[in-house]
Structure 1
Amino acid sequence: KDMLDVEVWRKDNKKHEELLGTCQVDITALPMKQTNCLELPLEKRPGSLLMLIAVAPCTGVSISDLCVCPLGDPSERQQISQRYCIKNSFWDIKDIGFLQVKVLKAVDLLAADFAGKSDPFCVLELGNDSLQTHTVYKNLNPEWNKVFTFPIKDIHDVLEVTVFDEDGDKPPDFLGKVAIPLLSIRNGKQSCYTLKNKDLERASKGVIYLELDVLFNPVKASIRTFKPREKRFTEENRKFSKKILSRNVDRVKKITMAIWNTIQFLRSCFLWESTVKSVIAFV
């Protein structure tokens, strides 16, 4: 029942951004399960936007508390399991599976603020689907205790859980990330994952506790394997980082101290405060 808000932006060398116009689409007025070609004039600006929009129901997407998670109810769990049983292999071929993620807590996170605290929140991404927790302010050991569910479009997808530090109106700071292939998930087992850097090559500071469940139809998943993978539509922008600034300030301090110590050593050599040291230095 919501309106779809569309914004058109211009980027200049990733530093300057300018809003070129906006438009709105009334989703409820569009026919379901078919592609609609719309030419939308931009509000208060010249130009228009040509769009192809297809509206289809997406089952399985939800955010809830631990006490009301979908797979926690035996009858609902049985209903979801029945949906992905072998006898339903050729019903709704795109509905491959169901993923439930319990985001419990994180421990010993990196302090992004100069005060030694962070305002952490989590972003969960599966393909082009993205959900987010609330922010726990001024805490390096946050507890979220939220349950997220996703529809599975490809069993070879990887669930990415990224922890950020909220920074007011500025882009958030990166604190750590984990990537979990769906096929490696052990259902109902609470696991502790070490956070890593953006490239997933080195360990970052802190760990995150997750509990995962995945239900899928093996026949549908096998058929999907032979089709091209879905392209990612998100683009990462360069952003100001307090963590990088803090690290660079420390580097400048160390370089300044090294230069100062070198100058003091040279002065002591020329002043012959220690004859032995000065002779060795000049030699």
Structure 2
Amino acid sequence: MGILDIEVWAKDSKKHQERLGTCKVDISALPLKQDNCLELPLDNCVGALLLLITLTPCAGVSISDLCVCPLADPSEREQIAQRYCWQNSLREMKDVGILQVKVLKAVDLLAADFPGKSDPFCLLELGNDRLQTHTIYKTLNPEWNKVFTFPIKDIHDVLEVTVFDEDGDKPPDFLGKVAIPLLSIRDGQPNCYVLKNKDLEQAFKGAIYLEMDLIYNPVKASIRTFTPREKRFVEDGRKLSKKILSRDVDRVKRITVAIWNTVQFLKSCFQWESTSRSAVAFVEADCLLYVTFLDNTGSCLW
């Protein structure tokens, strides 16, 4: 455990974001399994942040390379399997199991940057646990080869894997997403998943290769089914999309051109740049005024 960096942001109705201030918490100095109420002054800002922090040891969370994969070691795998065997079904009821995810690579991603490349990284979410790969720059076919382990609290949870394009200080661009129910995982089988859009309704561009292992205790998993699910604390905020912005700019340009052409046409009619066109336009205007007069008065003038 080390230093926890906290940023406070403000967002108005126009989706404009502004950072109000920052603060730090030395996690190593806090006692375990206790509610720690902290009032932290914000740097470069008037005000303070009131926090309630509870540190609970959580087994299984880690990030490593393929060469030091935890479940690849037979002795370590045996220890983990023993921890979740039938004989330990009534111990530490909240510790249901462990999930290991190998994030291997992605192929044929969407080009989010101007030169036709992207700077992709991968975000993994399981409940309130979030782990992230490093960024690989200027490629549409990144190879991360990282191993992530998560503690399982609910066997009915869904693993969400999202690929983003790093964009400096700006919010990252969305490159695709997959959602994998834990109960659908087949141990040790590399799988290729087609990336989908944010709503997981349509196929997006590209695919991601994952290999997953799941070890859990069936008795604990069954008991946890009848308890309330853990509240999700992560807010899914909509980020600015370069693709949508470009589409909206094109729409504005087309509307502006149409209005400009209409104004120029009307101007040419009044200036009699084309005698026949101006005559037809004024005749049509007179007919329209005459019909409107009849509709309003209900009579005909001869």
TM-score, normalized by length of structure 1? 0.84
Match of 2:67 in 1: 67
Match of 1:197 in 2: 197
Gaps of 5+ in 2: 261-273, 275-302
Q: Are 2:15 and 1:17 equivalent residues in the alignment?
A: no
**Higher alpha-carbon deviation: 106-115 or 188-197:** 106-115
Gaps of 5+ in 1: 261-269, 271-283
- Counterpart-to-counterpart distance in 2, 1:219 and 1:151: 16
Q: Are 2:247 and 1:214 equivalent residues in the alignment?
A: no
For residues 50-89 of structure 1, the aligned pairs below 5 Å read: 50-89=50-89
Give the secondary structure class of the aligned counterpart of 1:137. Answer: coil
- Counterpart-to-counterpart distance in 1, 2:117 and 2:258: 30
For residues 114-193 of structure 1, the aligned pairs below 5 Å read: 114-193=114-193
Work out whether residues 122 and 162 of structure 1, in 8 Å CA contact, stay in contact via their aligned partners in 2. Answer: yes
Distance 1:254 1:185, change over 3 A: farther
- Counterpart-to-counterpart distance in 2, 1:122 and 1:18: 25
Work out whether residues 173 and 243 of structure 1, in 8 Å CA contact, stay in contact via their aligned partners in 2. Answer: no
Higher RCO (C-alpha 8 Å, min separation 6)? 1
- Counterpart-to-counterpart distance in 1, 2:19 and 2:134: 29
Please state how far the C-alpha of 1:169 moved relative to its aligned partner.
1.3
- Counterpart-to-counterpart distance in 1, 2:252 and 2:101: 42
**Which residue type is aligned with residue 100 of structure 2?**
Q
- Counterpart-to-counterpart distance in 2, 1:255 and 1:39: 53
Match of 2:2 in 1: 2
Q: Looking at CA atoms only, which structure, 1 or 2, has the larger radius of gyration?
A: 2
1:214-264: CA deviations, max 9, x gaps?
00011111111111111211223343322223444566688899999xxxx
Please state how far the C-alpha of 1:89 moved relative to its aligned partner.
0.8
- Counterpart-to-counterpart distance in 1, 2:202 and 2:49: 43
Match of 1:274 in 2: none
Give the secondary structure class of the aligned counterpart of 2:193. Answer: strand
Distance 1:259 1:195, change over 3 A: farther
**Which residue type is aligned with residue 216 of structure 1?**
Y
Distance 1:138 1:4, change over 3 A: closer
Task: Name the count of aligned residue pairs.
Answer: 264
1:62-111: CA deviations, max 9, x gaps?
11111110011000111111110010111111111100001111111111
Give the secondary structure class of the aligned counterpart of 2:114. Answer: coil
- Counterpart-to-counterpart distance in 2, 1:247 and 1:116: 17
Q: CA RMSD in A?
A: 2.7
**Which residue type is aligned with residue 72 of structure 2?**
G
**Higher alpha-carbon deviation: 143-152 or 237-246:** 237-246
Identity across matched positions, percent: 77
